[in-house]
Amino acid sequence: MARLAGKLWFQVLVGMLLGILVGFYWPNAGAAMKPLGDGFIALIRMLIGPVIFCTVVNGIAGMNDMRRVGRVAFKAILYFEVVTTLALIVALVGVNLWRPGAGMNIDLKALDAKAVAGFVAQSHQQTVQDYLLHIIPSTFTAAFTTPEVLPVLFVSVLFAFALVAVGERGRPVLGLIEGASQVFFRIVGLVMWAAPIGAFGAIAFVVGKFGWSSLVQLGSLIAEFYVVCAVFTVVVFGLIARAVGVSLWRLMAYIREELLVTAATTSSETVLPALMGKMRDVGCEESVVGLVVPTGYSFNLDGTCLYLASAAVFLAQATNTPLDLPQQLGLMAVLLLTSKGAAGVAGAAFVVLAATLGSVGGVPVASVALVLGIHRLMAEALTFVNVVGNALAAIVISRWEGAVDLELLQAKIGLKRAALSPQAQPR
């Protein structure tokens, strides 16, 4: 028992259980624990920029092959688009078969539109041009002062390319960044020991603030969404993991600490630095991890896609808004774009949901008030899928590039010997 108590994942689990108890029996005290969760999230966000910068620069400069960088990026984007499309299809099939909103006959006048006014105000339609220009920070250092990942990735790639072009004169700078990378990952390790406190505060707040009434009122949608997330994880991720010779269950066990923290804080970015470290330790090449994982946090949000499609069709069902197959296919096309804007946005998936309904038309935007009370509960499932999806993506692209230590990967997460390909032998 003493050995178990020393494990971080066990401490996080205990923190979550205590948070549930406090929130249930002392709701006011539980709601007051919010600063503990917010403080932990702030600590992690503080480290995201430096960790991505050091990892990407060190990886690309060490790769010393710009064509390979472009090839890895292309493979990653292609993979992301395929998997997120599958997520949208699975979500649409699930919500149409289950029909959690059928028969609710919601009167929009009965909803509290003021409760979602702030989210709707943030949900202005963003063009592709606006999205691309937003990636470029106002200054080089400004990329590190926002919670968004893509601007940091952009300046990191530029810096790495320039460092390679400088040649030998840039070696001292590269050595400095390598040392800084080790320091920042050590800081991540120290901060993660505060995860049990952060998990306690976040869970206590959710239970104390929203209680269990939301589960009863909209239990059908919650049950449907959790089943869809489970099916997508087991079937789609399971097949992908099998194709690359990885045990999905051992992968999830390997990143269990990150998954527990994600479930407690309902924020996948809280484990971004730790997840990058885990993927390096499992045998994936640092250059691939540095490109794939941060990019995946904007382009590979499988759980967010499941949520957006499920919630949008549910609201149509609940408000008796006709939404036939062609309209749902059009919705899926829009979601392929809007889901990419879910990273780094306050309110994240909820804001994007409002933006999507506003751009598609038909389903009243004010109807998002219906899922406001259960968004945090649904976010626990969607962020779980996001983290698993990005961990698996790093392995898939590394295998595709032959940039993985297969012996180490097998030792960590049970790679099958039969799956070893001649194109991806241990390096």
In 10 A of CB 158, how many CB atoms?
A: 12
pLDDT band at 104 (very low <50, low <70, confident <90, very high): confident
User: Per the structure block, which two tokens stand in for 173?
Assistant: 């700078």
In this prediction, residue 421 carries a pLDDT of: 47
**Half-sphere exposure (CA, 13 Å, Cβ side) for 180?**
17
Burial class (CB in 10 A: 0-12, 13-18, 19+), 97: exposed
State yes or no: pLDDT of 6 exceeds 80.
no
Taking a C-beta distance cutoff of 8 angstroms, is the pair 261, 198 a contact? yes
SS3 content of the chain, % helix, strand, coil (to 5): 80, 0, 20
- 231, pLDDT greater than 60: yes
Distance CA 78, CA 341 (A): 17
Q: Identify the band that residue 422 occupies on the pLDDT scale cut at 50, 70 and 90.
A: very low
pLDDT for residue 87 = 95
Tell me the residue range of the domain where 114 lies.
2-424
- Poorest-confidence range of 13-17, 78-82, 121-125, 253-257? 121-125
Confidence at 310, pLDDT banded by 50, 70, 90 = very high
Q: Which residue has the higher pLDDT, 316 or 358?
A: 316
CA distance 382 to 226: 9
Lowest mean pLDDT among 98-107, 113-122, 286-295: 113-122
pLDDT of residue 302: 93
Residue type, 102: A
What pLDDT sits at residue 423? Answer: 47
pLDDT digits (tens, 9 = 90+) for 188-202: 888 888 889 988 988
Task: Give residue-wise pLDDT tens across range 89-101.
Answer: 999 999 999 998 8
| Residue pair 409/283 in contact by the 8 Å Cβ criterion | yes
CA dist., res. 156 & res. 159, Å (int): 5
Distance CA 69, CA 223 (A): 42
CATH number for the domain harbouring residue 292 = 1.10.3860.10
Rounded to an integer, the average pLDDT of 78-87 is: 95
237 neighbors 79 (Cβ within 8 angstroms): no
> What is the average per-residue pLDDT within 315-321?
87
User: Whole-number mean pLDDT of the chain?
Assistant: 82
What local confidence, expressed as pLDDT, does residue 181 receive?
86
Reduced to 3 states, what is the DSSP secondary structure of residue 284? strand
Q: If pLDDT is split at 50, 70 and 90, which confidence band does 107 have? A: low
> What pLDDT score does 427 carry?
43
Q: Which H/E stretch holds residue 88? A: helix 66-98
Query: 312 and 353 in contact (C-beta within 8 Å)?
Result: yes
| Cα three-residue angle 352-73-160, rounded to 5 degrees | 105
379-414 pLDDT, tens digit each? 888 989 999 999 999 999 999 999 999 889 988 886
Position 425 pLDDT exceeds 50? no
Straight-line distance from the first to the last Cα atom of the chain, in angstroms, rounded to the nearest whole number: 39
Domain count, the chain: 1
337-369: per-residue pLDDT in tens? 777 755 544 456 777 787 777 666 677 777 777
